């Protein structure tokens, strides 16, 4: 099967370490930058790309730059330079923006020039003059940009496809979009097998971009099944990469996306359980593993993870027991009661008088 996540069970993979691993243009993935109200600062040299466009690199990319009519996928934040007002932020929507270079909207001409001079994975700061932005009149709808406003963009070029005719996703047939996504997935698999996790995630995320919610919403029957057969493995392989990179919260999100579509997906349950266990969410992890074992009772990796959780619970119990013992100390042994000799003598005298009295009474009788 096309998914290289496991060859034999939900946890085995190309690295043959019996843990979770993943699922064959240019594309890059990185953690989303911190959300800030103001544009970030860059220490790199200012590159003049155009009379009205400059660029500073925040993080280097790799590979080639996109050519005209390439379909690019990017995230960006945009501010008006004079007022520092942020008017757009695609990271908040958690889905990349698609731009076909040479066919971008007029107000994105400056942004397009910047993107055409970036490499896949590059993170940059762009300064764009108003002439190549929203122009003399600005924009009074959404986004709200005042007239003659110079712009500042923080941009991450996720990746691009070299499609010479400049065909956007919306112009592709269903088969073309699924096929393009599947090629990205297969490329990601090859990169994963070479331990290039970041680059592999680049390909998986690009494939997922072709399978966006708007696209999936329109599909049904065999076409939806075909799309899910590509999309879900990409999410699962993203999770596998993220777990290896110790980005467990993100891995949980990828698995949960699959489980929202297929609640009995063993791989998603296993990997989410693994990520939750790494975060110390043992109860939630156990719940995932138990459900996975119910579906796949013969899977040894699932049984092993449940055993590890049980051993961890035992270790935690013993540790807590030692802690409490140290706090309260050992239970004191009961001290033997000391004898009161005065009472003993008094009792003896009473008994002696009583015996004498009984003896005299007996003689009198």
Q: What is the CATH number of the domain that holds 234?
A: 1.25.40.10
Question: Rg for the chain (alpha carbons), in Å?
Answer: 35
Tell me, yes or no, whether 176 and 304 share the same domain: yes
Question: Quick one: which of 115, 127, 110 has its CA closest to 55?
Answer: 127
User: Within this chain, do residues 60 and 102 fall inside the same structural domain, yes or no?
Assistant: yes
Rounded to an integer, what distance in angstroms lies between the CA atom of residue 212 and that of residue 168? 13
Tokens read off for 52: 């009205």
| 146 and 37 co-located in one domain | yes
- 103 and 202 share one domain: no
66 and 150 in a common domain: yes
The domain boundary, picked from 258, 290, 308, lies at 308
Residues with Cβ within 8 Å of residue 209, at least 6 apart in sequence: 73, 95, 96, 98, 158, 169
Give 78's strand partners: 88, 153
Last residue of a domain, one of 116, 143, 161: 161
35 and 147 in one domain?
yes
What is the number of domains present in the chain? 2
Q: Domain of 142: which CATH number?
A: 3.10.50.40
Packing angle, helices 248-261 and 222-244, rounded to 10: 160
> Is there a single domain that holds both residue 67 and residue 180?
no
Residue that finishes a domain, picked among 272, 287, 308: 308
Note whether 199 and 99 are same-domain residues: no
Residue 299 lies in domain: 169-308
Intra-chain end-to-end CA distance of the chain, in Å: 115
Q: What angle do CA 54, 206, 14 make, to 5 degrees?
A: 125
DSSP state of 29: -
> 56 and 155: one domain?
yes
Tens of each residue's pLDDT in the chain, 365 residues: 345 444 345 654 333 333 333 443 444 444 555 556 889 989 999 999 999 999 999 999 888 899 888 889 899 999 999 999 999 998 887 678 889 898 899 999 999 999 999 998 899 999 999 999 999 999 988 889 999 999 999 999 988 887 655 567 778 889 988 998 998 899 899 999 999 898 898 889 888 888 887 788 888 899 899 999 999 999 999 999 999 999 999 999 999 999 999 999 999 999 999 999 999 999 999 999 999 999 999 999 999 999 999 987 777 667 666 676 656 556 666 666 555 677 778 777 778 777 777 777 766 66
């Amino acid at each position: 099967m096309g998914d290289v996540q496991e060859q034999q069970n939900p946890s085995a993979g190309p690295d043959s370490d019996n843990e979770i691993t993943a699922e064959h243009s240019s594309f890059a993935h990185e953690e989303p930058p911190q959300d800030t109200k103001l544009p970030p600062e860059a220490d790199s040299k200012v590159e003049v790309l155009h009379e009205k466009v400059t660029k500073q690199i925040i993080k280097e990319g790799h590979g080639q730059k996109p050519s005209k009519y390439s379909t690019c996928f990017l995230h960006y934040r945009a501010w008006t330079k004079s007022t520092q007002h942020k008017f757009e932020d695609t990271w908040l929507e958690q889905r990349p923006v698609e731009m076909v270079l040479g066919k971008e909207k007029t107000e994105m001409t400056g942004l397009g020039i910047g993107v055409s001079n970036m490499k896949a994975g590059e993170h940059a700061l762009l300064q764009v003059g108003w002439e190549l932005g929203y122009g003399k009149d600005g924009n009074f709808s959404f986004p709200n940009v005042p007239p003659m406003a110079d712009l500042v963009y923080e941009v991450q070029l996720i990746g691009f496809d070299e499609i010479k005719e400049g065909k956007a996703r919306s112009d592709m047939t269903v088969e073309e979009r699924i096929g393009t996504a599947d090629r990205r997935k297969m490329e990601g698999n090859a990169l994963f097998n070479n331990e290039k996790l970041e680059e592999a995630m680049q390909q998986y995320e690009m494939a997922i971009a072709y399978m966006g919610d708007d696209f999936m919403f329109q599909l049904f029957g065999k076409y939806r099944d075909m799309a899910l057969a590509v999309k879900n493995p990409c999410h699962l392989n993203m999770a596998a990469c993220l777990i290896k990179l110790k980005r467990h919260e993100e891995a949980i999100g990828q698995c949960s996306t699959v489980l929202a579509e297929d609640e009995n997906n063993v791989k998603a349950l296993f990997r989410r359980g693994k990520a939750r266990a790494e975060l110390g969410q043992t109860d939630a992890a156990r719940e995932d593993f138990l459900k996975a074992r119910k579906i796949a009772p013969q899977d040894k990796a699932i049984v092993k993870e449940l055993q590890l959780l049980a051993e961890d619970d035992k270790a935690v119990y013993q540790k807590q027991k030692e802690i409490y013992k140290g706090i309260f100390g050992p239970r004191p042994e009961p001290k033997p009661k000391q004898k009161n000799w005065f009472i003993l003598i008094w009792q003896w005298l009473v008994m002696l008088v009583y015996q004498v009295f009984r003896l005299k009474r007996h003689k009198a009788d």
